[in-house]
Structure 1
Amino acid sequence: MELLLASAIGVLTASGIYLLLRQRTFPVIIGVSLLSYAVNIFLFATGRLAIGQPPILRDDVSQYTDPLPQALVLTAIVISFGMTAVIVMIALSAFLSENDDRVDMVEQAKDDA
Protein backbone atom coordinates (compact mmCIF):
# COMPACT_ATOMS: atom_id res chain seq x y z
CA MET A 1 0.00 0.00 0.00
CA GLU A 2 2.83 2.39 0.80
CA LEU A 3 4.47 1.75 -2.58
CA LEU A 4 1.23 2.55 -4.38
CA LEU A 5 0.77 5.74 -2.39
CA ALA A 6 4.38 6.84 -2.90
CA SER A 7 4.06 6.16 -6.64
CA ALA A 8 0.85 8.18 -6.83
CA ILE A 9 2.50 11.09 -5.02
CA GLY A 10 5.49 10.91 -7.37
CA VAL A 11 3.36 10.80 -10.52
CA LEU A 12 1.17 13.69 -9.36
CA THR A 13 4.21 15.78 -8.43
CA ALA A 14 6.01 15.08 -11.71
CA SER A 15 2.88 15.81 -13.75
CA GLY A 16 2.24 19.00 -11.81
CA ILE A 17 5.77 20.30 -12.30
CA TYR A 18 5.67 19.40 -16.01
CA LEU A 19 2.41 21.31 -16.45
CA LEU A 20 3.72 24.28 -14.45
CA LEU A 21 6.50 24.68 -17.01
CA ARG A 22 4.08 25.08 -19.94
CA GLN A 23 3.57 28.47 -21.60
CA ARG A 24 -0.23 28.55 -21.43
CA THR A 25 -2.31 29.45 -18.40
CA PHE A 26 -4.69 26.49 -18.36
CA PRO A 27 -1.93 23.83 -18.02
CA VAL A 28 -0.34 25.96 -15.29
CA ILE A 29 -3.63 25.98 -13.36
CA ILE A 30 -3.98 22.21 -13.75
CA GLY A 31 -0.34 21.78 -12.64
CA VAL A 32 -0.92 23.79 -9.47
CA SER A 33 -4.00 21.67 -8.75
CA LEU A 34 -2.05 18.43 -9.26
CA LEU A 35 0.69 19.64 -6.94
CA SER A 36 -1.86 20.50 -4.27
CA TYR A 37 -3.39 17.01 -4.64
CA ALA A 38 0.06 15.47 -4.21
CA VAL A 39 0.65 17.50 -1.05
CA ASN A 40 -2.77 16.50 0.29
CA ILE A 41 -2.05 12.80 -0.26
CA PHE A 42 1.37 13.20 1.35
CA LEU A 43 -0.14 14.91 4.40
CA PHE A 44 -2.80 12.22 4.63
CA ALA A 45 -0.15 9.49 4.47
CA THR A 46 1.77 11.00 7.37
CA GLY A 47 -1.06 9.94 9.68
CA ARG A 48 -0.15 6.25 9.28
CA LEU A 49 -2.06 4.07 6.87
CA ALA A 50 -4.37 2.13 9.18
CA ILE A 51 -7.61 0.88 7.68
CA GLY A 52 -10.63 0.69 9.98
CA GLN A 53 -8.89 2.28 12.97
CA PRO A 54 -10.59 5.05 14.95
CA PRO A 55 -9.08 8.56 14.87
CA ILE A 56 -9.57 8.91 18.63
CA LEU A 57 -7.24 7.54 21.29
CA ARG A 58 -9.12 5.68 24.02
CA ASP A 59 -8.07 3.29 26.77
CA ASP A 60 -9.53 0.20 25.07
CA VAL A 61 -8.03 0.91 21.62
CA SER A 62 -4.49 -0.32 20.99
CA GLN A 63 -4.11 1.22 17.51
CA TYR A 64 -5.48 4.48 16.20
CA THR A 65 -5.13 6.83 13.28
CA ASP A 66 -3.66 10.27 13.90
CA PRO A 67 -6.45 12.85 13.34
CA LEU A 68 -4.10 15.83 12.82
CA PRO A 69 -3.16 15.02 9.18
CA GLN A 70 -6.85 14.54 8.39
CA ALA A 71 -7.60 18.01 9.72
CA LEU A 72 -4.64 19.44 7.80
CA VAL A 73 -5.85 17.84 4.57
CA LEU A 74 -9.35 19.27 5.03
CA THR A 75 -7.86 22.71 5.58
CA ALA A 76 -5.54 22.31 2.58
CA ILE A 77 -8.47 21.32 0.35
CA VAL A 78 -10.34 24.51 1.24
CA ILE A 79 -7.24 26.66 0.75
CA SER A 80 -6.39 25.04 -2.61
CA PHE A 81 -9.96 25.55 -3.81
CA GLY A 82 -9.77 29.25 -2.98
CA MET A 83 -6.30 29.53 -4.51
CA THR A 84 -7.49 27.85 -7.72
CA ALA A 85 -10.43 30.24 -7.95
CA VAL A 86 -8.11 33.24 -7.60
CA ILE A 87 -5.69 31.87 -10.20
CA VAL A 88 -8.54 31.22 -12.65
CA MET A 89 -9.81 34.77 -12.23
CA ILE A 90 -6.32 36.24 -12.75
CA ALA A 91 -5.79 34.08 -15.85
CA LEU A 92 -9.21 35.00 -17.22
CA SER A 93 -8.60 38.72 -16.76
CA ALA A 94 -5.17 38.42 -18.40
CA PHE A 95 -6.71 36.54 -21.33
CA LEU A 96 -9.48 39.10 -21.76
CA SER A 97 -7.06 42.05 -21.66
CA GLU A 98 -4.40 40.59 -23.98
CA ASN A 99 -6.49 38.13 -26.09
CA ASP A 100 -3.77 35.55 -25.48
CA ASP A 101 -3.13 33.08 -22.69
CA ARG A 102 0.64 32.76 -22.93
CA VAL A 103 2.63 33.17 -19.72
CA ASP A 104 6.03 34.18 -21.11
CA MET A 105 7.16 37.79 -21.30
CA VAL A 106 9.41 37.61 -24.38
CA GLU A 107 7.37 39.97 -26.58
CA GLN A 108 6.95 42.54 -23.81
CA ALA A 109 10.70 42.59 -23.21
CA LYS A 110 11.29 43.24 -26.94
CA ASP A 111 8.78 46.10 -26.92
CA ASP A 112 10.42 47.74 -23.89
CA ALA A 113 13.90 47.73 -25.44
Structure 2
Amino acid sequence: MVDAISSMGLLWTKQTRFATKPVRTQAGRLLSLSELTSDRFRWALANFETLAEAGLTVESNTPDEILETVKEVLSLAFSKPPAPMPPAKWQAGFELPDFFGAASPSSYFLDKHPDLLRSPD
Protein backbone atom coordinates (compact mmCIF):
# COMPACT_ATOMS: atom_id res chain seq x y z
CA MET A 1 0.00 0.00 0.00
CA VAL A 2 1.37 3.40 -0.92
CA ASP A 3 0.09 6.96 -0.77
CA ALA A 4 -2.81 6.19 1.59
CA ILE A 5 -3.86 6.54 5.21
CA SER A 6 -6.44 4.66 7.20
CA SER A 7 -8.27 5.07 10.49
CA MET A 8 -9.21 1.38 10.43
CA GLY A 9 -7.06 -1.57 11.44
CA LEU A 10 -5.96 -3.62 8.47
CA LEU A 11 -5.78 -7.37 7.95
CA TRP A 12 -2.57 -7.50 5.95
CA THR A 13 -0.27 -10.49 5.56
CA LYS A 14 3.47 -10.59 6.16
CA GLN A 15 3.92 -10.28 2.39
CA THR A 16 2.58 -6.71 2.53
CA ARG A 17 4.76 -3.62 2.68
CA PHE A 18 3.43 -0.12 3.08
CA ALA A 19 4.40 3.54 2.93
CA THR A 20 1.73 5.68 4.53
CA LYS A 21 1.15 9.27 3.57
CA PRO A 22 3.27 11.40 5.89
CA VAL A 23 1.02 13.22 8.38
CA ARG A 24 2.33 16.38 10.05
CA THR A 25 1.23 18.67 12.84
CA GLN A 26 0.75 22.41 12.27
CA ALA A 27 4.30 22.86 13.56
CA GLY A 28 5.55 20.53 10.82
CA ARG A 29 6.41 17.57 13.05
CA LEU A 30 5.95 14.17 11.41
CA LEU A 31 3.60 11.92 13.38
CA SER A 32 5.12 8.57 14.27
CA LEU A 33 3.39 5.31 13.34
CA SER A 34 2.61 4.92 17.03
CA GLU A 35 0.87 8.30 17.06
CA LEU A 36 -1.00 7.56 13.82
CA THR A 37 -2.53 4.46 15.39
CA SER A 38 -3.36 6.11 18.73
CA ASP A 39 -6.87 7.09 19.78
CA ARG A 40 -5.75 10.72 19.81
CA PHE A 41 -4.95 10.85 16.09
CA ARG A 42 -6.38 7.72 14.41
CA TRP A 43 -9.90 9.12 14.16
CA ALA A 44 -8.61 12.36 12.66
CA LEU A 45 -7.55 10.39 9.57
CA ALA A 46 -11.14 9.76 8.43
CA ASN A 47 -11.30 12.69 5.99
CA PHE A 48 -9.82 16.09 5.21
CA GLU A 49 -12.27 17.89 7.50
CA THR A 50 -11.30 15.84 10.56
CA LEU A 51 -7.63 16.22 9.67
CA ALA A 52 -8.03 20.00 9.53
CA GLU A 53 -9.92 20.03 12.84
CA ALA A 54 -7.03 18.12 14.45
CA GLY A 55 -4.50 20.56 12.99
CA LEU A 56 -2.92 17.91 10.78
CA THR A 57 -1.80 17.98 7.16
CA VAL A 58 -1.16 15.06 4.83
CA GLU A 59 1.54 14.82 2.19
CA SER A 60 1.61 12.49 -0.78
CA ASN A 61 4.28 9.85 -1.02
CA THR A 62 7.13 10.83 -3.30
CA PRO A 63 7.88 8.86 -6.48
CA ASP A 64 10.98 7.31 -4.88
CA GLU A 65 8.97 6.10 -1.85
CA ILE A 66 6.38 4.49 -4.11
CA LEU A 67 8.99 2.91 -6.39
CA GLU A 68 11.08 1.45 -3.58
CA THR A 69 8.03 0.07 -1.76
CA VAL A 70 6.85 -1.61 -4.96
CA LYS A 71 10.35 -3.06 -5.46
CA GLU A 72 10.20 -4.60 -1.98
CA VAL A 73 6.83 -6.17 -2.75
CA LEU A 74 8.09 -7.54 -6.06
CA SER A 75 11.09 -9.04 -4.29
CA LEU A 76 8.73 -10.81 -1.91
CA ALA A 77 6.49 -12.00 -4.76
CA PHE A 78 9.38 -13.53 -6.68
CA SER A 79 11.06 -15.08 -3.62
CA LYS A 80 14.05 -12.80 -3.77
CA PRO A 81 15.41 -11.62 -0.46
CA PRO A 82 13.63 -8.35 0.30
CA ALA A 83 15.22 -5.29 1.80
CA PRO A 84 16.01 -5.64 5.50
CA MET A 85 13.02 -5.88 7.80
CA PRO A 86 12.28 -3.04 10.19
CA PRO A 87 13.47 -3.48 13.77
CA ALA A 88 11.64 -6.31 15.54
CA LYS A 89 10.15 -3.81 17.95
CA TRP A 90 8.88 -1.39 15.31
CA GLN A 91 5.38 -1.64 16.81
CA ALA A 92 6.57 -0.95 20.37
CA GLY A 93 4.40 1.63 22.06
CA PHE A 94 1.44 1.18 19.73
CA GLU A 95 -1.94 1.34 21.46
CA LEU A 96 -3.03 -1.16 18.78
CA PRO A 97 0.07 -3.27 18.02
CA ASP A 98 -1.74 -5.29 15.35
CA PHE A 99 -3.13 -2.25 13.53
CA PHE A 100 -1.20 -3.10 10.36
CA GLY A 101 -1.86 -6.84 10.66
CA ALA A 102 1.28 -8.84 9.87
CA ALA A 103 2.51 -6.23 7.37
CA SER A 104 5.68 -4.19 7.74
CA PRO A 105 6.52 -0.69 6.63
CA SER A 106 8.81 -0.37 3.65
CA SER A 107 12.43 -0.43 4.78
CA TYR A 108 13.22 2.38 2.37
CA PHE A 109 10.37 4.46 3.77
CA LEU A 110 11.57 3.92 7.35
CA ASP A 111 15.15 4.79 6.40
CA LYS A 112 13.91 7.99 4.79
CA HIS A 113 11.62 8.88 7.73
CA PRO A 114 13.26 7.52 10.90
CA ASP A 115 10.91 9.61 13.06
CA LEU A 116 8.12 7.19 12.11
CA LEU A 117 9.53 4.84 14.75
CA ARG A 118 9.89 7.54 17.38
CA SER A 119 8.56 6.50 20.78
CA PRO A 120 5.30 8.13 21.84
CA ASP A 121 5.73 11.48 23.56
Q: TM-score normalised to the size of structure 2?
A: 0.26
Q: Which has the higher contact order (CA 8 A, sep 6+)?
A: 2
More strand by proportion, 1 or 2? 2
